[in-house]
Structure 1
Amino acid sequence: MYIVTGGAGFIGANIVHSLNQQGISDILVVDHLTRADKFLNLTDLEIADYMEAERLLELIQNDQLQGVEAVFHEGACSDTMATDGRYVMENNYAFSKALLHWCQRHNIPFLYASSASVYGMTGSFTEERQAESPLNIYGFSKFQFDQYLRRMWNELKAPVHGFRYFNVYGPREFHKGRMASVAMHFYRQYRLDGHVHLFAGSAGYADGEQRRDFIHVDDVVSVNMHFLDHPRSGIYNVGTGQAQSFNDVAVTVVNSMRRMAGEETHDLPGLQKSQTIRYISMPEALHGKYQSFTQADIRQLRAAGYSKTFLSVEQGVERYIDWLAERDQ
């Protein structure tokens, strides 16, 4: 049996989908369904069982689970604007430690979601302590668990892989609300209003030219599956290694939708002139907390044996828009 925490969520459900594609359905999905409509991520998937996270914690504390092949730990409070630090640390840090120790006791591979948010505003994106300075409680919870794991390296008996996800987008994120990817937001804005909103220039960047390392969820899942099959314990950046602008995402979304409607496509200046792309001021709450540039250093990922080519924004976003349009989401 495989355990996927956060299995009704974005990345977790895509991991379940990948396991299904390999003929694996003996999967225990663990999640919180306080947001009930997340169940929709599972309706086309095959799983053996579902339980709430608190029940899993009870079972592992009492050593009442057997026959587990691996644990994909994707579950977390992922709201970067969360203010209840006790809740975030309990869910993201304490729960992760309990799972880690249980996996070590039973020699079970543990693959977990860390986050690029651990880097904060340092401007450096290498898996090293000097580059890490989280800006919010979410990033801090992920950082502290990475630190906890680092102190255990010499004691590990079973493989452990931490993945610092950068800006992930793709299928099965409909439930994330304001935390959904910009590709999802642009798709919904354009479908509803005929235009999209990007932030105006900031931190020395022109309008919409802030740059992030956008990675399609299919690539994220591919990395997870690689290390399941070829374990090499470590903490790895999971991004494409190439930053692209928010304008790039917006242009790809709009042109993908225009192409499907049989309409003429345009480059960035043309879309700006037509007011299809509009720029708005950044909210005050994000001042001093907004990463205008991220780009994963993926040398350690490559050195560990992951050699596949990542999708570009143009390739991945077009694939995603096709998926959304097919399902009328």
Structure 2
Amino acid sequence: MIVVTGGAGFIGSNLVRALNERDERNILLVDHLVNGRKVHNIADLDIADYMDKAQFIEKIESPAFLNDVRAVFHQGACSSTTEWDGQFVMTNNYDYSKRLLHWCIAKNAAFIYASSASVYGNGEHGFRVDRKCEHPINMYAYSKFQFDQYVRQLLPNTKSQIVGFRYFNVYGPREQHKGSMSSTAFHFNRQIIEQKRAKLFAGCDGLADGEQKRDFVYVDDVVDVNLWFLDHPDQHGIYNIGTGQAETFNTVARAVIDWHKEGDIEYISFPEHLKGAYQSYTQADISGLRRAGYTKEFLSVKEGVARYLNWLNSADNKISF
């Protein structure tokens, strides 16, 4: 069996889809469906069983629970970067992850988990998987960083596979439930449909309008990396997942406009509350990923946005949230 926590979420549901495409259906999907609209992410997926997160946490204390687990893809977390209840965040993202990690070690199951590029803070020291670059600036980032630190202590002396992925700006299908936290490609698409204008922030940090850059990575590429490591159990460690190439918000907006063959860009005032607390640039250092042996090229923004909008604007996926 394969366990996917956060399996009804964005990356988790895409992982389940990709596993199904491999004819893998012996899957336990773990989530916390307070937001029942996430059912749209999983309605077309085939799984063996569903379990609520609270029940799952309780069950893993039992030695006899799920003795046939091959791997756990741990995607579940409190992902709000504006949540300042540190006790809540650490309980959900750090303590839970530790318990699940030790359960996997005891079961000799692969533990493949979601970290975050947010551990790099404002990025002033770069985006390498290196302690010198890591300076989290919110509780979500700190919880992910501290779990990575915990994993680093265990890696040299643990035989079972442990892999952590620091996701950069992931976009693509099955993210609609995230609302305001959905990708810019998702929001630009809706704005072009409804208003014929994509709204971008004006320039900041000495940059021209819309020229802030992020490492935008398509979700299919993220899933492919996860499954590659599943297929290579000798590989372990913590890795960045991004394209390795920063692209501007203007590039994303133009890709959306090109797909629709209509629309313009409108620049809006940069929000006061984000000044001094905004990442104007991110770019993953993926040298570790390449050294591990992952050689596949990542989709560019132009390629990924076109693929995403083909899916998003199809009749089956025009869902209102």
Normalising by the smaller structure, the TM-score range is over 0.9
SS of the residue aligned with 2:96?
A: helix
Residue 116 of structure 1: how far off its partner (Å): 0.4
Work out which of the residue numbers 251, 256, 260 in structure 2 matches 1:257: 260
What is the aligned partner in structure 2 of residue 214 from structure 1?
216
What is the aligned partner in structure 2 of residue 267 from structure 1?
none
SS of the residue aligned with 2:311?
A: helix
5+ residue gaps in structure 2? none
Q: Which amino acid aligns with 1:93?
A: Y
TM-score by length of 1: 0.93
Residues 123 and 279, structure 2, Cα contact 8 Å, conserved in 1: no
What is the aligned partner in structure 2 of residue 323 from structure 1?
311
The answer to whether residue 147 in structure 2 is matched with residue 145 in structure 1 is yes
Alignment of 1:293-304 (within 5 A): 293-304=281-292
What is the aligned partner in structure 1 of residue 56 from structure 2?
56
What is the aligned partner in structure 2 of residue 79 from structure 1?
80
Q: Which amino acid aligns with 1:170?
A: G
State the identity as a percent: 56
After the TM superposition, which of the residue ranges 239-248 and 283-292 deviates more from structure 2? 283-292
Residue 157 of structure 1: how far off its partner (Å): 2.1
Residues 110 and 162, structure 2, Cα contact 8 Å, conserved in 1: yes
What is the aligned partner in structure 1 of residue 251 from structure 2?
248
Q: Which amino acid aligns with 1:257?
A: H
Aligned CA-pair RMSD: 1.0
Distance 1:106 1:328 in 2: 42
Distance 2:54 2:236 in 1: 27
Tell me the matched-pair count.
314
Distance 1:118 1:220 in 2: 18
What is the aligned partner in structure 2 of residue 34 from structure 1?
34
**Alignment CA distance shift 1:168-1:210 (3 Å):** same
Work out which of the residue numbers 220, 226, 229 in structure 2 matches 1:227: 229
Distance 1:122 1:170 in 2: 24
SS of the residue aligned with 1:252?
A: helix
Alignment of 1:147-186 (within 5 A): 147-186=149-188
Residue 57 of structure 1: how far off its partner (Å): 0.8
Residue 103 of structure 1: how far off its partner (Å): 0.5
Residue 312 of structure 1: how far off its partner (Å): 0.2
Q: Which amino acid aligns with 1:249?
A: V
5+ residue gaps in structure 1? 264-270
Q: Which amino acid aligns with 2:57?
A: L
What is the aligned partner in structure 1 of residue 239 from structure 2?
236
TM-score by length of 2: 0.96
Work out which of the residue numbers 282, 291, 294 in structure 2 matches 1:306: 294
Query: Could you list the per-position Cα deviations for residues 222-242 of structure 1 after superposition, in whole angstroms to 9, with x for gaps in the alignment?
Result: 000000001311100000000
SS of the residue aligned with 2:60?
A: helix
